[in-house]
Amino acid sequence: MLEIKVAKVKCNGCVANIKTGLADMGGLESVEVDLASGVVSINGESLDRQLIVNKLAELGYPETV
C-alpha cells in the first residue's frame, strides 16, 4: 500500500476526480481518499510513487509534506 498526502481535497467531487484520474493509469487495484486528512491510499503491484505523485499534481492535487 502506498499513502500520499495531498493538498486541495475539499469535497467528494475532489475525491471522485482523484479516483477517476488514477484509474486511468492502470495497474492499480484500489484507490481510497480520506477527505478529512487528504491522504490517498493506493493498492496495486509495482506502484511507482513518483508517477502517481506526478499524476496527482497534474490533476490539481499536489503532494504535501
* pLDDT given for residue 26 in this prediction: 82
Residue 63 has pLDDT above 90, yes or no: yes
Could you report the per-residue pLDDT of 7-59, keeping only the tens digit for each? 999 999 999 999 999 998 888 999 999 999 999 999 998 899 999 999 999 99
Phi, psi dihedrals of residue 42, rounded to the nearest 5°:
-125, 130
Domain locations along the chain: 2-59
2-59 topology per CATH: Alpha-Beta Plaits (3.30.70)
Rounded Cα–Cα distance for residues 3 and 31 (Å): 10
